[in-house]
Amino acid sequence: MSSGELRKLVEDLGLSQANFARLLAVTPRAVALWMAGDRAIPGPVEAYARLLSAAPSSTVHQELRILKASKTSMRDGLYYVDYQSNSGAGYGVLILDTGKVFGADPLGGKYDGDYVYDERTGLAELSLKLTFPPNIPAVFGISNPYEWAIDVKARIDPRLDSGQTRVETPVGPHIDVQYRYMRSLPDA
């Protein structure tokens, strides 16, 4: 299937790129890259697209309604985080995007990892690698002359506009974090 064929198929189904991405559980950017011909269309995507085009439009729209209803409790987007421990405080941003987490703070700290949304509890369970630049004290008071990193876990409730969580660290005191949902991510 060519990028033009995929584009026409999605248009004929009456779907936006964002809605097609939702049906595939991929990012809208991935769909945009396939449609532009910048990335090869994976075989399973081609098979799903062909199957979808053969289904009645009522079935396609019913699938989209079910998908939207089941995903309303998880909000990907940009989050502001304000954190403190017994040794210091700081702030930064986190981006949650279809299972991935990344972010930074003004002192050069980087946050990378992933999350799993638990439908049962309504919480997103984040697993993050916190990377600290050389000679900059971390919020829990440790500084090294080289870049270093630790792994941490946290839970947030992405249905809330703001909330709190406690992050236990393997190297020092816990970190109290307040988070606030800032905005959704763009579709492309």
Residue 102 belongs to a domain with what CATH number?
2.40.128.380
What pLDDT sits at residue 16?
82
For residues 13-38, give the mean pLDDT: 82
Q: How far is CA 128 from CA 47, 99, 101, 105, 116, in A?
A: 35, 12, 8, 14, 12
Q: Which domain holds residue 58?
A: 3-71
The count of domains in the chain is 2
Q: How far apart are CA 57 and CA 52, in angstroms?
A: 9
Q: Does 110 lie in the same domain as 177?
A: yes
Pick from 111, 139, 138: nearest CA to 126? 111
Of the CA atoms within 13 Å of residue 67, those in its CB half-sphere come to: 15
Above 80 in pLDDT, residue 68? no
Signed CA dihedral, 48, 51, 53, 59: sign only: negative
Residue 14 lies in a domain: yes
Above 90 in pLDDT, residue 31? no
* Single pTM value for the model: 0.64
- What are 91-143's pLDDT values in tens digits? 999 999 888 999 999 999 999 999 988 878 888 999 999 999 999 988 888 89
**Three-state SS for 101?**
strand
Q: How far is CA 15 from the centre of its chain?
A: 22
Q: Does 109 lie in the same domain as 67?
A: no
For residues 64-93, give the mean pLDDT: 81
Q: What is the CATH number of the domain that holds 26?
A: 1.10.260
Q: Does 115 lie in the same domain as 94?
A: yes
Length of the chain: 188
Above 70 in pLDDT, residue 158? yes
